[in-house]
Structures are given as structure tokens and as C-alpha cells.
Amino acid sequence: MAWLDLDTERWRCGPRGEEGHHDHVPVYESGSEVLQKFQEKWNSTKQQRYPAMYSSVVGGIILDPSMMVIPIDDHMVHRGHGVFDTAMLSNGYLYELDSHLDRLLLSASKAKISSPFSRETLRAILVQMTAASKCRNGSIKYWLSAGPGDFLLSPKGCTAPAFYAVVIASGATAAAAGGGGHPRLREGVRAITSTVPMKDPFFATMKSVNYLANALAMAEAEERGAYASVWVDGDGGVAEGPMMNVAFVTGGGDLVVPAFDRVLSGYTARRVLALAPRLVDAGVLRSVGAARISAADARRCAEMMFVGSGLPVAAHRRMGRPAGQVGKIALALSDMLCEDIKAGPDRLLVPYDQAS
Ligand SMILES: Cc1ncc(COP(=O)(O)O)c(C=O)c1O
């Protein structure tokens, strides 16, 4: 191992000084030394291990977490030129994979990123990666990037677009899919109005990797003891949360999801819109629809809830309601979604166990 002695500004060989002392920055000449370092880090940390990753740069599925890396000159890393999407894993099925994959390709076309593979190949890679992970509950995340190449702003130097994906194991999804609802739901959650500027509709309607505004909005909510924040647009309309849509039930029994023209078209919210008419048939709701709703009207609503894959419904704890009590529509929608994730129509549930 060679290392740079910062006192003398000379390269030295042999053992360096104290571990972690940055006067002597180690230089690793061989890949095997670096791999050993990565493996030491993974073995010494309690950080979650990811059961599988796919990288088009490697051209295959990676099971060793210490090798789950992406190139530093990837345009997604240094310029944010990438898009992503997710899908939930529930009891060996990928829920709503096709809708999320369609949204990924839509985001990619808005971001001028061409896919290295056809849609069928992307889907087949995700199914095979998830099978190889042997994970039955959790989620997958996947990215299309302008790709590695150089460090310039122009994507012209990117040699080829890249596709990356990872499996994230989790117990929470299993609980939700078991029909018990998200653990927070029965108690309800707090929400605040975000002071972080919201994204322009062009950026908000695509799922790019630029989630700085979202991360700051989430941090703001947590600092103020809330579960999440809600953006209100320049015209006073309710927009969305930092990683979920929102829905309201008016005093008259109308279920309203803020229209998707300025926010991400969330598939959980769309599924709510497809399932909720059953509550109209049952006489519990008067109507269901996507529409503009002002923050002032939203504050007068009987119920508010966050809606997104991974929740799937988190009811807002209304002021004035006894602790632990949340709205009955939010509870009903949560049960319907959990049932849908567990035993919904075949087209929504993609099996992957058989692929291994
Ligand atoms: C900003 C934003 N809005 C809404 C959603 C909800 O989308 P979905 O229900 O498809 O997960 C997400 C989740 O990815 C999001 O990041």
C-alpha cells in the first residue's frame, strides 16, 4: 500500500500511521485491497444489507453488498441526470410493477434518457433480480441514468445509458399486506404545511433523482414532530407530500385527490380512485374524484390521509378527535388497499419466485 505523507508531500510505502488519521491518506493500488476495505465496512456495520442489485455496467445481478456500487462519473451521481421508480414486494409478488415501470419510462423520456433495454427486458431483469434476492417482502428501487462517461454537464460524453436496481428487504410491508394496516394508521399521524419551495410541475410530475426539496420537506416535518409535510402551490391548492400523495374527505362525503397535473401521478392514489367507488356503492361516500382542492377547503375536511406505496394509507390525526381515533374512510381505504396488495387482480401481482 502506498500513501501520501501530507507533512512532506511525498508518497510513502509500507504501513501507515494511526487508523483514521488523515495526515496520511492511504492509496490503494489494487482492486482487491479496496474490495477488502468495503467488505470490512459491511461486516462491521449494522447497516441493512441489500439482498440483490442489478447493474447494466456490470451486466448482471450482484449478491455481495460490498460490490453494489455505481461509477462516480455517472451523470446521475454528479449532475442528478437520472430517474427512478419503485415497486412493493408482498409475499413473493411484485405489486403494480407494470404501472411503475411505465412511469419510469415516462420520467426517462421527459429527462431525455434513453433506456439501454426494451421495456420487456427491463421487466425481466427486475423479476430475475428479485427472484435471485430470495426476498419475499420489501421493495425494489430502480434507476435509468444518462450513464457514466465524463464529468461535464452535457450528457454527450456519457458512453451509454445505465440501468441499476436494488432489492430492499423489509418487515413493514409484510405487516401491511397481512391486512393489519400500516402500524401508524390506527393512531393517525401529524402533518405540517411545508415551507420548502415546491418543485415546478415539469419536475414534480417526473420521478427524477433530484429529491433535495423532498428530503428538506421531510426533515422539516421531522424537526417539527410531524410525520410528513404537505406542499401548497402558488395558487393555494394542495399539492402532495414529499414521497406520497394526499387525499381528503369533505364534510359532505366526497373523496378528493389533488389532480395530478402539478404533482407525481401516484399509483397508490390512482388505485384508491379505482377502489373507492365501492364505498360510494355502499353509501359511505357521495363521490370520488381527482380535482383541485384549496388548502382552505382542505382544512375544513372531515378526513385527510397520506397515500403512497409503502404506507399505503396513513390517516391524518384530526385536531379535536380523541387520540388514537382516525377517520373511518381512511381505515376502509387502508383495508381495501392491503387486501389489493395481498390478493388483488392478477394483472397487478407479478410472481417472481418461479423465475429463480
Ligand atoms: C413526490 C411523490 N409523490 C407521490 C408519491 C406516491 O407515488 P406511488 O403511490 O406511486 O408510490 C411518491 C412516491 O414515490 C413521491 O415520491
SS3 content of the chain, % helix, strand, coil (to 5): 35, 25, 40
Q: Which three cell numbers stand for residue 39?
A: 467488505
What gap in Å lies between CA 40 and CA 74, rounded to an integer? 25
Catalytic residue status for 207: yes
Supply the pLDDT for residue 23.
75
Q: Give the per-residue pLDDT at 197.
A: 97
Q: How far is CA 28 from CA 15, 22, 32, 143, 207, in A?
A: 12, 15, 9, 30, 37
328 neighbors 276 (Cβ within 8 angstroms): no
Q: Which of 264, 311, 333, 341 to mutate to test the pocket of ligand 1 (most atoms within 8 A of CB)?
A: 264
Report the 10 Å Cβ neighbour count for 29: 9
**Phi, psi (deg, nearest 5) at residue 306:** -90, 145
Assign 271 a pLDDT band (cuts: 50, 70, 90): very high
Q: Are 326 and 182 in contact (CB under 8 A)?
A: no
Ligand 1, pocket residues at CB < 6 Å: 214, 240, 243-245, 264, 266-269, 308-309
Cis-peptide, bond into residue 312, ω within 30° of zero:
yes
Domains and CATH numbers, the chain: 2-44 (no CATH), 52-170 (3.30.470.10), 180-343 (3.20.10.10)
Q: What cell does 181 get? A: 394496516
The rounded Å distance from CA 269 to ligand 1 centre is: 9
What value does the mean pLDDT take over residues 285-299? 97
Distance 267 CA to ligand 1 centre (A): 7
Residue 60: strand pairing partners: 55
Catalytic residue among 46, 141, 207, 342: 207
pLDDT confidence of 339, banded at 50, 70, 90?
A: very high
Indicate the SS3 state at residue 242.
coil
* pLDDT for 37: 93
